[in-house]
Amino acid sequence: MKNILQTSISKEQNSHQRYSISSYNSLLAVVKDLASVRTIEEIIEIVRLAARDLTNADGVTFVLRDGECCHYVDENAIGPLWKGMRFPLKSCISGWAMLNKQAAVIEDIYQDARIPIDAYKVTFVKSLVMVPIRVADPLGAIGAYWSTQHRATPEEIELLEILTDTTAVAIANVQLFQKLTNQNALKDKFIAMLAHELRNPVAPISNGVQLLKLKLGQTGAVGETVLMMQHQIKHLSKLIDELLDVSSITYGKISLNLEKLNLVDLVRQSLNDHTEAINRSNLTVVQDLPNTPVWAYVDSTRFFQIFGNLLDNALKFSQPDGTIWVNLSFIPSENGLGSVAALTVRDSGIGIDPTILPELFEPFTQADRSLDRSRGGLGLGLSVVKSLVELHGGNVEASSRGINLGAEFKVTLPVCEDITTLDNDQEIIEAAKKSLKILVIEDNDDSAVSLQAVLEHFGHEVSIAKNGILGLETARQLEPNVIICDIGLPEMDGFAVAQELSKDSKFTRSILIALTGYGGQMDKELALKSGFKCHLTKPVDFEILTAEIDQYYLMSA
């Protein structure tokens, strides 16, 4: 935009100064303001004020073409003009300027046949200049008006022309921004639906594999095959989650459930969860964790995701017999006030090309750009890590000495003071454990039957209902301890089922769990508002599901 302004001005500056310094500075300020706007309304507000200031006119109008009409969208004047009105293109001066693709300069409106006199009689206007916005294909016009007879000077006309050129660019930018925003919204909707559709077939496969693992164990050729299948299912589920997370984070749809937790325990638990992957990769993990607690306000689920992604990265890019170092410590904060927790994951792997480091945390960036794509992934994991760490008030950085010299990722998080906790929940659960009545409300036969088989393996009595209305009737008849309900059900969706059950005092002590393919943040929030105690996405890890079912024992204790 600045180039447009400078080019236009230079044309008229052959032998003398065309504009005052103040006019030039005012135009530069307008260009700067218009460069950052995101809506047409913002453009109109800036331009209607600037046009009057630049021309010293008694009034200005901002006109947009609306089909075969001129819409006088806004104005800035000493008296009312035509704000909000529409006139046919061929019967108003703004229409003439657009149709003829040139400025109209009128010293006396009552002596010009192009002027609809009746529309002007009730106004202060005696003289005007009307300049089209985007001369090649006008989309509007800017008018300047004077209450006394005045012939617009070449300088005033040119200032308005520069302003309309700048306005045209700003409008094009806003339209492009809005188009991209709409396309992004459609993309997010598509990704959410894609994730749901992918989760539906993955869920029964995952249930079946977990049941095979329970029944057949993990040894021998069959056991190894089951473990391989389970690993690939987890990988597929992770890819689906990353697609949703990066979209949700981009639009601020992720919220944290912060708790005061010991980071040492969380790191150890996450390392235990990765034992199978570590063993399969034939790598050594060296832990350097403090003996005393490191307390911080974190969302445990998101912390596992942060550390898990960094650990997965180290596993993915390390050669067999390599080493991964995990360190948790206190370091001085950047402002010198107190300390922060520093979690470092370092590996002896392939390293990172220095040219990639600046963009490493951008979505879809791949550290491994080889054609064989042997290490897989979507290039979203580190982008998600960065966003989640920043939501926690922390920072993440990557470093590498170069190719084949390993890489290091360091996450820093704010810490809080030490606390003493007493956790006897597990003892309560173990003492109270018994067979529970569980109702599964699920319209996908494969998902329902496979989930029933796994829950029955743990000794529970399981019933199935295949739609929302039948689920509600069955729940009232059986009064189950736990209800596991899909969201996208026929006849009555899961949200409505939860709302109805929440109104019934019979289910005050029941655990109501949403188990669905819809895994967005808004889906989770709506599930909790509807009455679900928790929201889980398909395919579910049975350790997580069991932990939620165990809440029944705590409530009953």
Q: Among residues 250, 276, 295, which one ends one of the domains? A: 250
Show the tokens assigned to 509. Answer: 């002590």
How many domains does the chain divide into?
Answer: 4
Residue 277: inside a domain = yes
Is 384 or 432 the better-scoring residue by pLDDT?
384
Residue 551: inside a domain = yes
Residues 52 and 156 in one domain: yes
Q: Residue 423: is its pLDDT beyond 70?
A: no
Between strands 69-77 and 407-414, the pairing is unpaired
The string of pLDDT tens digits covering residues 508-537 is: 888 899 998 877 767 888 888 999 988 888
Residues 31 and 134 in one domain: yes
Q: How does residue 498 score in pLDDT terms, banded at 50, 70 and 90?
A: very high
Buried-state track 296-311, b at ≥16 Cβ within 10 A, e below 16: bebbeebbbbbbbbbb
CA distance 532 to 515: 10
Residue 167: inside a domain = yes
8 A C-beta contact, residue 413 and residue 389: yes
Residue 493: inside a domain = yes
8 A C-beta contact, residue 173 and residue 207: no
The string of pLDDT tens digits covering residues 342-360 is: 999 999 988 888 888 878 8
The string of pLDDT tens digits covering residues 311-339 is: 988 998 888 889 999 999 988 766 555 67
Q: What is the CATH number of the domain that holds 312?
A: 3.30.565.10
8 A C-beta contact, residue 124 and residue 59: yes
Q: Would you state the pLDDT for residue 1?
A: 52
Is 235 or 260 the better-scoring residue by pLDDT?
260
Q: How does residue 216 score in pLDDT terms, banded at 50, 70 and 90?
A: confident
Residues 291 and 389 in one domain: yes
Structural domain boundaries, residue 238: 187-250
* Alpha helices in 86-153, H assignment, sequence order: 93-100, 117-121
Q: Residue 186: is its pLDDT beyond 60?
A: yes
Phi, psi of 251 (to 5 degrees): -105, 20
Residues 237 and 277 in one domain: no
SS (H, E, C) 22-78: HHHHHHHHHHHHHHCCCCHHHHHHHHHHHHHHHHCCCEEEEEEEECCEEEEEEEEEC
Residues 271 and 402 in one domain: yes
In one letter, which amino acid is 221?
A
Residue 420: inside a domain = no
The string of pLDDT tens digits covering residues 383-404 is: 888 888 888 888 899 998 888 8
Residues 19 and 161 in one domain: yes
CA distance 127 to 107: 5
Q: What is the CATH number of the domain that holds 167?
A: 3.30.450.40
Residue 390: inside a domain = yes
Q: pTM here?
A: 0.50
Lowest mean pLDDT among 72-81, 374-383, 474-483: 374-383
User: Cα 137 from chain centroid?
Assistant: 36
Residues 265 and 382 in one domain: yes
Single out the residue of 343, 251, 334 nearest to residue 296, CA to CA.
Answer: 343
The string of pLDDT tens digits covering residues 120-131 is: 999 999 999 999
Show the tokens assigned to 182. Answer: 């709409």
Residues 6+ apart with CB under 8 A from 433: 553
Residue 166: inside a domain = yes
Is 19 or 406 the better-scoring residue by pLDDT?
406
Residues 6+ apart with CB under 8 A from 350: 317, 318, 319, 368, 403, 404
Residues 357 and 452 in one domain: no
Counting Cβ atoms within 10 Å, is residue 423 exposed (0-12), middle (13-18) or buried (19+)? exposed
Radius of gyration of the chain (CA): 33
Q: Among residues 201, 218, 250, which one ends one of the domains? A: 250
Q: Would you state the pLDDT for residue 12?
A: 41
Phi, psi of 503 (to 5 degrees): -80, -15
SS3 456: helix
Residue 520: inside a domain = yes
Residues 438 and 347 in one domain: no
CA distance 291 to 270: 17
Q: What is the CATH number of the domain that holds 443?
A: 3.40.50.2300
Q: Among residues 205, 223, 250, which one ends one of the domains? A: 250
Helix (H) or strand (E) holding 484: strand 482-485
Residue whose pair of structure tokens reads 């657009």 in the numeric block? 98
Counting Cβ atoms within 10 Å, is residue 39 exposed (0-12), middle (13-18) or buried (19+)? exposed
Residues 494 and 538 in one domain: yes
Residues 132 and 39 in one domain: yes
Is 97 or 281 the better-scoring residue by pLDDT?
97
Residues 460 and 550 in one domain: yes
In this structure, the chain runs to a length of: 557
Q: How does residue 429 score in pLDDT terms, banded at 50, 70 and 90?
A: low
Single out the residue of 418, 410, 376, 371 nearest to residue 394, CA to CA.
Answer: 410
Q: Would you state the pLDDT for residue 15?
A: 31
